[in-house]
Amino acid sequence: MSSELFDEIYLGRRKIIKNEEYLSPDKVPPRMPHREEELRKLARLFLPLVERPGSTYVTAVISGVQGIGKTHSVIYFYKHGLKRHMQEKHGKDVILAHVNAYKNTTLTSILAAVINNVLRIPQPARGLSPREQLDQIMKKLERKDAYMLLVLDDFQFALQKQGGSVANFFVRLYEDMENVNKRIHVIFIVRDFGELERHLTDEKAKLGLKSRHIHYKPYTSTQLYDILRDRAELALYDSAYDEEVLMEISRRVGYDTAHNHPDAGSARLAIEILYTAARKAEAEHKSQITLDDVNYTLTLLLGRGSDLMTLLERIKELDEHKLLLLLALFNLMKLYPEGVPIGRLELEYEELCELVGLRPRKHTQVYQYVRDMAEKGVVKRVVATVKNSKGRSSIIKVDYSPELVRKRVLELLRARGVNVAPLE
């Protein structure tokens, strides 16, 4: 009998989430699909350190947009690669000093974070200069006979605050120290390599870093699918999800399929959507995550607005004629961004009815439907004077992006037995 069956009981009869920690954004995963090449490059850059520790000062730069595995791949590289290898090959320890420049924007506070939080060296009451701080770090490493991987994460914040001085300090860390055993090695993580480059004063240093730069691309939908599948395997019960759910999330977040979204290609966003949908399904005592859960979550997270949540709930209650009217409105919003005259809307609605083989409702009924939907807040109705017409007329519009809701409307129509193929 599968042990999952017992886990389920122990976990208070959770049916969806098997291992929650794997869905947390802070958990460095045991595998990182689609970052193998970047990890290999990183390993190549660190070869001098593992071959002849202390002989060469190693630096690397990683750049790329948010949520694409920059931080986690570096920690992964440290844990599974560098630390282990140095231990096995030389019996030497490598200490990870991961400092976020969002919290520590100045050179002094970056070095203080290493001294206090990583090495835990007691500090004198008077402030030390950066050179003195560095000296303390170097001495401590020497005493321990250990090496250090200093990761300067979100380094753009330090650049913005302190300009080039902080970057130049680390680039030239061992300048004038030729014969010293070089124990500190640095990885800069930035959003944009150009920003770092602009702050470097020395042309040689610029060129040097350029050749040590690894750019991370946002993930495509197929890459996200693999990442999600891997995560789902670790975190969810097999019976709790299917391929379709993972595919939908990947498609909506993938860099190649969701280019308009500022977070397109982000694994963090994709995992967050899976996690939120899983918790939603679980809260509703379901045993499977459905496409509905995913779509609801997508709108919530992509739109980042709770209004949309309510909107989706309301749309769920509409019958097929109201849904077709809404779809007609979405189609025409492109032509009439200020709002669609109700007469024009009625014509489009009739056309859609014809396409799907439904008999359109009569004029007065259509007007009533629009009034109902306006009362529910699904559409907005304003009375305005229309150009080239005799008098005042109703103009209909929505104040959310139709694209966020369109797919949902089609799904609901399908669920109501309408053949939506001609509308897609």
Ligand X SMILES: Nc1ncnc2c1ncn2[C@@H]1O[C@H](COP(=O)(O)OP(=O)(O)OP(=O)(O)O)[C@@H](O)[C@H]1O
Return phi, psi of residue 419, to 5°: -80, 100
What is the closest distance, in whole angstroms, from the C-beta atom of residue 267 to ligand X in the complex?
3
How far apart are CB 170 and Mg ion at their closest, in Å?
A: 18
Query: Does residue 408 bind ligand X (CB under 6 A)?
Result: no
Nearer to Mg ion, 53 or 218 (CB): 218
- Distance between CA 268 and CA 61 in Å, rounded? 21
Interface with ligand X, residue 34, by CB under 6 A: yes
246 sits near ligand X (criterion: CB under 6 A)? no
Q: Which is nearer to ligand X, 190 or 420 (CB)?
A: 190
Q: How far is the CB of 77 from ligand X (least distance, A)?
A: 11
The pair phi, psi for residue 363, each rounded to 5°, is -45, -55
Choose the stretch contacting ligand X; rule: CB under 6 A; options: 26-34, 144-152, 199-207, 237-245.
26-34
The two structure tokens encoding residue 168: 């130049």
Contact (Cβ atoms closer than 8 angstroms) between residue 356 and residue 421 = no
**According to CB under 5 A, which one of 59, 63, 71, 221 is a site residue for Mg ion?**
71
Return d(Cα 252, Cα 264) in angstroms, integer. 8
Please tell me whether residue 52 adopts helix, strand or coil conformation.
coil
Structure tokens at 182: 């070089």
Alpha-carbon torsion, ordered 157, 160, 164, 169, to 10 deg: -30
Residue 305 one-letter amino acid: G
CA 27 to chain centre: 14
In whole angstroms, what is the distance from residue 222 CA to residue 225 CA? Answer: 5
Contact 307, 364 (CB under 8 A): no
Which window, 8-16, 51-59, 71-79, 337-345, contacts Mg ion (CB under 5 A)? 71-79
Residue nearest ligand X (C-beta atom): 69
Residue of the chain from 59, 71, 276, 297 that contacts ligand X (CB under 6 A): 71
Residue 223 sits in the site that holds Mg ion (CB under 5 A): no
Do residues 234 and 197 lie in contact, with contact meaning Cβ atoms separated by under 8 Å?
A: no
| Beta carbon nearer to Mg ion, 68 or 412 | 68
Binding flag, residue 32, ligand X (CB under 6 A): yes
Among 33, 218, 339, 360, binds ligand X (CB under 6 A): 33
Distance from C-alpha of 106 to C-alpha of 109, rounded to nearest angstrom: 5
235 touches ligand X by CB under 6 A: no
Question: Which long-range contacts (C-beta less than 8 Å, at least 24 apart) are formed by 85-90?
Answer: 85/50, 86/49, 86/50, 86/53, 86/147, 89/50, 90/50, 90/53
Residue 70 touching ligand X (CB under 6 A):
yes
Q: Which stretch binds ligand X (CB under 6 A): 112-120, 136-144, 197-205, 263-271?
A: 263-271
* Residue 42 beta carbon to Mg ion: minimum distance, rounded to whole angstroms: 15
Q: Least Å distance between CB 100 and Mg ion?
A: 8
Nearer to ligand X, 72 or 182 (CB): 72
Binding-site size for ligand X (CB under 6 A) equals 17
The residue ranges that bind ligand X (CB under 6 A) are 25, 29, 32-35, 66-72, 227, 267-268, 271
The residue ranges that bind Mg ion (CB under 5 A) are 71
